[in-house]
Amino acid sequence: MKTFNLFTVILSLSFFISSFNRIDNSNSLYKNSPAATKLNNTDLDLEKTSNDFFKRYSDLKKYKSDVMSLYKNRSLGSIWFDEEQVNEFGSVLYEKAKNTNDLVIPYQKEIEQLFDSSAENKLSKTDADMLLSSLYIVYAKKNNTEAKKKVSYDALLKDFLNYSTIEEASAKNVKDDAVVSFDQYYKLQDALKQYKKLDRSKKWKPIVPAETPYKELRPDAESSTIAQVRTRLYLLGDLKHDSKSEVYDRELMDAVMKYKVRNGFKPNYILAEEHIKEMNIPVSDKITTLKLNMERCREIASQMANSDEYVLVNVPSYEMIYVKNGKVQLKSPVFVGAPLTKTTIFNGEIDRIVFSPYWTVPQSIVQNELKSKIAADPNYLAEKNMEMVNGQVRQKPGPDNSLGLVKFMFPNSDDIYMHDTPSKTLFDFEKRTFSHGCINLKMAKELAYAMLKDYPEWTPAKIDKAMAGKTENSFKLTKKVPIYITYFTSLVNENGEIGFFQDVYNRDTNLTEELVPENKVADK
């Protein structure tokens, strides 16, 4: 990922000042309305609320299904309101609707009073929000050229909750390429609302360990620290109820596992000091992290959102994700470059897969690590299955080869690629920065299987044979696969769970200082 230049910083600052203030307030749906609270409960309550609304606004009944699709499965509440006022997105919608030829605004009198400060507004927030959602449906159907396209909350986000739309509606000065096409942006935006709400609640208290020095906590342990951890995981949504118990019981074990998995920790039940420290990171820092990663979403190439196949490697979470036809086909742990030999953040295209690869040892490694060993032991190269070819040291194919049994090539100036590794035990570590810059895959064979499914000649048996060969075998893909090496320290997974990951290369700190120098990220 390229360093932000001054122009980008200026644009980004304008985004932070306007956009994040707009979404600061998002309490549960219509907090002053009893009916509204029900919208966040069961499907039955949702149905009762909608029936009541559409009974009173009968002209809108034909839009009921589409309107309710905007609210279904949402837990963050109102779409068109910030606290007691219609938000900027609601204003954009109303202006667009008014300026659309031949568009009949339903219940126009009631909707107009929402934007008239002198008018006496007698509508409940429930009715007001659902009226604006109905207006959105009317507007979308009028302006949607794809008649069969299903209206959804995601589509609404892309229409109204992006930087370009808001700025175009108000200042008319933002270029089209400012639209955020990577949907992770909107997922992080929803998470930001949750954490701002948590921050306002003042319920986030530091966990104070009962013992000094800290002693690891395991199942069946009893400690006041356990009760504090329980409360923390309840606030984060990993635990449904807070029993206040000081005993590390089965219920807490499940919550700890959920917390660890989504945050990239080793999946076990041990509560070490580093986990308590992570739980004690202030909510304000989490909010800053979410903002930074929303900004990073702007750097993701638009073709990623439109591509039916791609590989994404996220350095802070030490994970590779292979996506095809819009679905995650494979996830694999990875280890990446050490702080002195960082993995480069960039986009590329995988153009070939190499089975039973040779490893040509970089001259820097030869000079700094191998030269003295070769001088001390004349048999060193033979013992390591290496050979000297044209003045270069290379390791022959085989199970002990440093690249493992297969590598995935994507041309780049830094000579970074993705490959298998014989060092499988390194995946047991939580912080996995071991390589000289390349990406080491735990499930390299499985990725080869998945990527070659559309190539009938490459059966699993043939792949296995090629990986067990004594000579290198390179296959050029007829369709290149985009690869995105990213640096997201927070991401929302396919289950809607937010994960926060270690800032292993200190890029968050650097980016925060560039974008908001007065808002330093606390030492984590």
* Alpha-carbon span 4 to 349, nearest angstrom: 23
Percent helix / strand / coil, the chain, rounded to 5: 45, 15, 40
Structure tokens at 174: 């933002």
Torsion of CA 493, 498, 502, 504, to 10 degrees: 50
Tokens 């979470």 correspond to what residue? 317
Answer yes or no: 419 catalytic: yes
* Alpha-carbon span 415 to 438, nearest angstrom: 8
* Alpha-carbon span 34 to 127, nearest angstrom: 12
Consecutive H or E run containing 22: helix 21-22
Burial per residue of 396-423, b for 16 or more beta-carbon CB atoms within 10 angstroms, e otherwise? bbeeebbbbbbbbbbeeeeebbbbbbee
* Alpha-carbon span 191 to 338, nearest angstrom: 30
DSSP state of 162: S
390: helix, coil or strand?
Answer: coil
DSSP state of 271: B
Nearest residue to 438 via CA among 316, 338, 310, 331: 338
CA distance to 297, 371, 437, per residue, from 338 (Å) = 24, 22, 7
* Alpha-carbon span 72 to 153, nearest angstrom: 9
Check: CB of residue 131 under 8 Å from CB of residue 111.
Answer: yes
State the catalytic residue, choosing from 241, 275, 297, 419: 419
Structure tokens at 45: 């309550």
Q: Write out the catalytic residue numbers.
A: 419, 438
